[in-house]
Amino acid sequence: MHRRTAQRMGSAFFACVRLLLAVWWRLCLGLPGCRAAFESSPMTKRTQAIKRIYSGRGIELYRGDCLQAMEQMKRRGVEFDAVMTDPPYSSGGLHLSSRQKCTNEKYRQTGHKIEMKAFLGDNMDQRSYRLWAMTWLGTAAELLKPGGLVCLFTDWRQLPTMTDILQGAGLNWCGIVPWDKKNTRPRIGGFNQRCEFIVWGTKGTRPRVGPSLPGAYQMSPVSTQRRVHFAEKPVELMKQLLRAVSESGGESVLDPFAGGATTLVAARELGLRAVGIEKSEAIAEDARQRLKAKPEKISA
């Protein structure tokens, strides 16, 4: 009884925090210059209509802003067993000037000449990123069933921030799962950064059913020549993470930042229903083409 009371108080507290943040954000937009900067941002333009561009075998892909799309889903009463996504990190540099570079410039490895499509939302300052992420994750949390699972990719720079964001969205933070990419560029005089991280949590208490999965994964990234998206994750890695859904009685997953549709491909191979949202028209089209391809041609 005391535990349930504490959980209700915690949920109410975080709801108040999100409300205060929303009020603060609206006040900021009233300041000279703030509204124009906000409305000109590629992550906050609301002129693009939400459009379903792929549907088949339990998989749906929408092109448009994820906040708008999720609000529409809320009105329709849609619910998911899990939210599993790889949002923009807004990282890739020690200073703001470095983080604001184009993603092609920030993340291209030395000697690689393949030009990938730049993705949106990767050049915010820390306060903007925290507020933006808490907003979309709070909305996604409302689409989760009780006990639902959340898995969010991030890097070492944003790891502390992302754990705060997950809790600020009213979710229970349960842990961190490292993804060891096996190799990376050397860092002379220090330690190389060969890991990305999955911050995971739940909406309330998660039923104790299903497998006990590894606390870390070691897997090479998708080769640059085979990538559909600059930050693409291996399909096999996503399938391993999605076992927490498919082997626990879950049926559906939401990816608000679908990118190259890796989460959707992995979900399809496991027999799960999945919905993905991608704002970039060019990247959304690449994802659509990938989903239309034969399964044996899209596994990575």
Predicted confidence (pLDDT) at residue 47 exceeds the cutoff of 70: no
Predicted confidence (pLDDT) at residue 152 exceeds the cutoff of 60: yes
Question: What is the pLDDT averaged over residues 222-240?
Answer: 86
Q: Report the predicted TM-score, pTM, of the whole model to 2 decimal places.
A: 0.77
Residues sharing a CB contact under 8 Å with residue 158, sequence separation 6 or more, in sequence order: 89, 90, 91, 129
| Burial zone of 211 (CB within 10 Å; 0-12 exposed, 13-18 middle, 19+ buried) | exposed
Sheet strands side by side (includes 273-278): 51-56, 59-63, 273-278, 252-255, 80-85, 144-154, 195-202, 172-180, 217-218
Percent of the chain at pLDDT exceeding 70: 71
Confidence at residue 296, expressed as pLDDT on a 0 to 100 scale: 43
